Amino acid sequence: MFACGCSGKSESKSIDVLEPKPIAKTSSDARIGGCVNEDGKWVLQTLNLQHNHGLSLDKVRYFPCNRNISASERKRIEMNDCAGINIVRNFNSVVVEAGGYKNVSFLEKDCRNLVDKARRLQLGEENAMTILNIDLDEHDRLRNVFWADPRSRAVYKYFRDIITFDTTYLTNKYDMPFSPVVGIIHHG
């Protein structure tokens, strides 16, 4: 069952009696419902498209399926973050360039999530120190490295799906073979 976001009843939770917050619920009966039949196909059972409130097409951009960050915007946001520009100013620079909020295809929350993900993927100081304390030969040259980030280790402990060890790669100019260990989880 999919129902209108204004379905149901709600009461204002505002503490200030003089300035109550607007109530978004209007007891709208608009909904679509269905179920899967014996053949595994969806069958429509309920369909009511009558809303008891006005529809705003400019809010469609807030649906997760319509929010995306283009490659150029993604690069700009990441570069601004590396330059030390905070999330709010970073997002606002995209808004100004686009000519307003209605012309931006993502929210500040999406910008924040992108930056958080990029930061998590960066090699941290403690990780760099771990690499420095690894297997060296008699000439203090790197012999081998095994790297598994904390997230991958946690995912492996939980799912224990497929692990491959590929040694077919050629050696590089330093005569060091490259053998990636690749894990594939249940999401592919």
Which 3 state secondary structure label does DSSP give 36?
strand
Strand ranges in the chain using DSSP code E only, listed in sequence order: 2-3, 31-36, 42-48, 135-136, 142-144, 162-165, 181-184
Under 8 Å between Cβ of 147 and 131: yes
- Does residue 8 surpass a pLDDT of 90? no
pLDDT of residue 17: 56
Cα(143)–Cα(141) distance, integer angstroms: 6
CA atoms within 13 A on the CB side of 126: 3
Cα(188)–Cα(27) distance, integer angstroms: 41
pTM above 0.85?
no
- Does residue 19 surpass a pLDDT of 70? no
154 versus 41: the higher-pLDDT residue is: 41
Residues 6+ positions from 159 with CB-CB distance below 8 Å: 185, 186
Cα-based distances in Å from 27 to 9, 24, 34, 44, 107: 6, 9, 21, 22, 28
pLDDT of residue 109: 92
138-165 residue pLDDT tens: 887 777 777 777 777 777 777 766 667 6
pLDDT of residue 62: 77
Q: Give the residue extent of every domain in the chain.
A: 1-55, 59-121, 140-184
- Does residue 22 surpass a pLDDT of 60? no
CA atoms within 13 A on the CB side of 143: 8
187 versus 52: the higher-pLDDT residue is: 52
pLDDT of residue 91: 92
DSSP state of 16: -
